[in-house]
Structure 1
Amino acid sequence: MAKARVEQDALGEVNVPDDVLYQAQTQRAVDNFSISGERVHQEIILAMMSIKAAAAGGNSQLGELNPEVAGAIIKATELAISLDFNKHFPVDVYQTGSGTSTNMNVNEVLATLASKELGRSVHPNDDVNHGQSSNDVFPSALQVAFVRKLKSVLFPVLDALINQLEILADQYQDVSKVGRTHLMDAMPVTLGSEFHCWAEQTRQAYQEVWAALEQLLFLPVGGTAVGSGINAHPDLAELICQALSDEEATISAEEGITSKEHGTKWSRHVCPSTNMSGQLPAMRLSHGLKSFAIVLLKIANDLRWMNSGPLAGLNEIQLPTLQPGSSIMPGKVNPVILESVAMVATRVVANDVCITQAAGSGNFQLNVMLPLIGQTLMQSIELLTSAGKSLTLKVLNGISVNEEHLRQNLESHPVLVTVLNPYIGYALASKIAKEVIATGEPVIEVALKQTGMEREELEAILDTGKMTGRLKPNRVKPSQAKSSQIKDSYITQRFPDTDQ
């Protein structure tokens, strides 16, 4: 058993393991919240430390904090990045709803490190938490963590997914196939148009997430306890936001973030209690992530149908063979990545229900389910990142198309007689369709016998390219960048298996 030291807080003495950097209040939280064993997400902790460093610098600039103390706190945030987070930040997600226990955990660790750096005592409340409250710092840290996560991992995956879908749309823009509505055969479409449709749906979800991100850029820092800014210098919030913006610009440059995402500009919310008592921006982000999840679910289900077979299914495409599919049926291969993606989508939809309920738990000036919102949203972002990456690299990159099978199915399909209606009428077209179904002959051969029309005229009318090309999609031609260049920085240790 580890040796213990005695720490003291307002409630009295507490025994704390001698080899940890936290102090009394964190130990009380560890003792009180033995709930799940799931610790607050590391990137939320890192975001809190960014805010602590920005606050220390701002307070020093405003004459609110000794410059040497502020410098020691800033140095402590740099040292803390390399700590064993499981050891030194052990507070359970299911804690006090404001995240106070985690805020104090960060305050205490930084105070310990800063004290060692400075050679004299740095107080977790009076110094590290100066001009702050858990009630404004924790929701601000959530917003910072969300935006960083979106920019660093999800957006590059979304870009790569859309690009790969558009490459496939171009590649198969002239491959016609039977369309389907109600899972029943319908008028022809091109395979390329299906890929393009998925790309457009992904873009729509992307736009929803981006709109939510823009709302997340307004931080409730400076609101302190109830949004009024008590005990904080009136200019502190602006200085914190500027320091965070400068840090974000550095991160963007180092990580090679594209121009669209470059230059995050944080701003102080004009009414801090808006994002302290309510969590509408987080809920909107969750809704956007749910939209992407639904798009992934549709793509996965469509591809599974198209791949079904190989003998008694649609057999329109072949997915990459990744692993044996059955413990009893030799030779069976299943669409395992697509099933994985579908489960991720289902989890994200469930997470959205959780976040929506939690966002409604704001009583007067404070939401009291902030740790749950933060943890659940981070999980959704990470799951969608991994699922989108797997879909792109392990499915879309290796699809092969059974073009001859698609052509044969379409040429002999009675649905083609639909385009003859204006020339021969519905009744005769129905008669031709029935004979095609009964005999299996191509539509054009039956139509030659039934209508007396010339072959050249029928070929022009029954040209499937014309049937599928009436509405040309207006889109930018995708770049030829390989989707394997998906950005990997910031993908957390929880997902070591997402590499190609």
Structure 2
Amino acid sequence: MTTIEKLANHDPSTRVEEDSLGQQSVPASALYGIQTQRAAQNFDITGTPISHFSELVRALAMVKYAAAKANHQLDILSDDKADAITDACLELIEGAHHEHFIVDLIQGGAGTSTNMNANEVIANLGLVKMGYKYGEYRHLHPNNDVNCSQSTNDVYPSAARIAIIFSARALKQAVSQLQRSLEAKGQEFSEILKMGRTQMQDAVPMTLGQEFHAFASDLGGETDRIEHTCQQLCEVNLSGTAIGTGLNAPSRYADLVIKELAVVSGLPIRLAVDLMAASSDMGDFVTFSGTLKRLAIKLSKLSNDLRLLSSGPRTGLNEINLPAVQPGSSIMPGKVNPVIPEAMNQTAFQIMGTDMSVTMAAEAGQLQLNAMEPLIVYNLLNNSRMLEKSIRMLDKLCIQGITANEDHCAQYVERSIGIVTALVPHIGYDNASRIAGIALHSGLGVAELVRREKLLSDEQLAAILSPSAMTTNL
């Protein structure tokens, strides 16, 4: 019995493992090992472990599965080791054992702790399948076997790319559903005439339906943009190992591992043209972050508009009613606040701010590696999830339940000076400006003043100021 085994037997709730820095106790029931334990002790920063993002755990398992398959085909891994590794990976892909991925997402080492967490969990799962105990790594080693032909520097970014693509699926679905809800409101409000506004001042008439159709159209291309950036993320540096030279990866490994990864992930994974450049370049991550920021800006502007249009109820615009989801004040009875758009705004601000963090982390790469990848991965996975959840909240708890104050909208149009713009082609700019000035100071209506000065007949006014004439160019 070795010294390590004797120490482990001394406390049945722990086992002792050893690495290049010495020995350390690990919980006996833990699938992870000593390097994961050290990382958990070193990095207690966000309180967000790898397991918080199941997409990342599944993506890591897919990379390890593909590597084991490729190594087996090249006779580097024996049948029993390859089977043990791939079986363990499949369990992780199916969602099991994720609670053993305990390392904080923010960590030094360019993702080494994340990679080792995966290596140790897979090794210990594999050991059990082979009939051994946790920690008996001489039979299946986290580095020699699970990490064979790999480095953190090609595993981590490759898994991160796949995880981000997975996270984007739910986001795309949420955006599409929100767009459909906005289009439905556009149809529902298609006959409601209201005033358009520019620079917070009366402009020209429009319909409330047109306003909501514009909201929907503004989101129209966002799912395509997300998909396009996901296609860019399908290009990986797997097989480049430490710096892109492929050291310790055998010939033919690159083709085999990429093919296996494409199969297990179901994605059109392809090998980067220049593995050395791909090992340090974060450009695709920056592009994805920018796409999220663009979407966040649009959603924040939409939320701003909803809050303005529903402001009041007595002293604001009060053109629409947002669903009341909770009391709005601890001191003012009956007050209801636009809490759902406000929450959407705050999510958007977070996305915009962390886009700068991603930008700075991408710029901070040095020579053949970017050690700041964990911050990039954490922010992109978190931002994608935050956006998806916030969009579903906005859609379900706000957009779908919006109602219109049709009479209030009509009153604004009737009292507005902005309708004078429609008369310019018929009475001239100077006359229109004069009429607008008189209306502003006298409180009289534009149509009434035009009739009084006999600039147009009643029939002409009715045709020019009809809702259809003022809200469409057809």
TM score, norm. by length of structure 2: 0.91
Higher CA-based Rg: 2
**Structure 2: how far apart are the matches of 1:274 and 1:158?**
33
CA offset at residue 2 of structure 1? Answer: 7.9
Mapped contact 2:106–2:378 kept (Cα < 8 A): no
Question: 1:89-132 deviations in whole A, cap 9, x for unaligned?
Answer: 22222322311111111101111111111135111111111111
Which 4+ runs in 1 deviate beyond 6 A? none
Query: What code does the residue aligned with 2:245 have?
Result: S
**Structure 2: how far apart are the matches of 1:91 and 1:421?**
68
**Structure 1: how far apart are the matches of 2:183 and 2:12?**
58
**Structure 2: how far apart are the matches of 1:187 and 1:210?**
37
**Structure 2: how far apart are the matches of 1:126 and 1:355?**
33
CA offset at residue 21 of structure 1? Answer: 1.6
Which residue matches 2:83? 71
Which residue matches 1:137? 155
| Count of residues in Structure 1 that have an aligned counterpart in Structure 2 | 455
Out of 181, 185, 189, which is 1:168 matched to?
Answer: 185
Mapped contact 2:111–2:373 kept (Cα < 8 A): yes
CA offset at residue 398 of structure 1? Answer: 0.5
Question: 1:291-346 deviations in whole A, cap 9, x for unaligned?
Answer: 01000100000000000011100010001111110101111111110000000000
Out of 316, 322, 325, which is 1:322 matched to?
Answer: 325
C-alpha distance 200-66 of structure 1, shift in aligned 2 (>3 A) = same
TM score, norm. by length of structure 1: 0.87
**Structure 1: how far apart are the matches of 2:423 and 2:213?**
28
Partner of 1:188, secondary structure, is strand
Mapped contact 2:194–2:413 kept (Cα < 8 A): yes
Q: Which stretch shows the higher mean deviation, 62-71 or 328-337?
A: 62-71
Q: Which stretch shows the higher mean deviation, 359-368 or 94-103?
A: 94-103
**Structure 1: how far apart are the matches of 2:396 and 2:254?**
43
Instruction: Map 1:215-234 to 2 at 5 A.
Output: 215-234=232-251
Which residue matches 1:11? 21
CA offset at residue 45 of structure 1? Answer: 2.1
Which residue matches 1:127? 145
Which residue matches 1:300? 303
Percent of aligned positions that are identical: 40
Structure 1 residue runs of 5 or longer lacking an equivalent are: 250-263, 472-500
CA offset at residue 198 of structure 1? Answer: 1.8
Partner of 2:231, secondary structure, is helix
Question: 1:148-185 deviations in whole A, cap 9, x for unaligned?
Answer: 1112x101111111111222223323322111111111
Mapped contact 1:2–1:17 kept (Cα < 8 A): no
Which residue matches 2:8? none
Which residue matches 2:69? 57
What is the RMSD computed on CA atoms of the aligned residues?
1.9
Query: What code does the residue aligned with 2:473 have?
Result: R
Mapped contact 1:111–1:128 kept (Cα < 8 A): yes
Out of 165, 173, 184, which is 1:156 matched to?
Answer: 173
CA offset at residue 236 of structure 1? Answer: 2.5
Query: What code does the residue aligned with 2:171 have?
Result: L
CA offset at residue 212 of structure 1? Answer: 1.4
C-alpha distance 82-381 of structure 1, shift in aligned 2 (>3 A) = closer
CA offset at residue 191 of structure 1? Answer: 1.8
Out of 277, 280, 283, which is 1:274 matched to?
Answer: 277
CA offset at residue 399 of structure 1? Answer: 0.6
**Structure 1: how far apart are the matches of 2:221 and 2:455?**
49
Say whether residues 1:240 and 2:257 are aligned partners: yes
Structure 2 residue runs of 5 or longer lacking an equivalent are: 1-10, 133-138
CA offset at residue 350 of structure 1? Answer: 0.8
**Structure 2: how far apart are the matches of 1:2 and 1:373?**
40
Say whether residues 1:107 and 2:119 are aligned partners: yes
Partner of 1:16, secondary structure, is strand
Query: What code does the residue aligned with 1:135 have?
Result: N
Mapped contact 2:218–2:298 kept (Cα < 8 A): yes
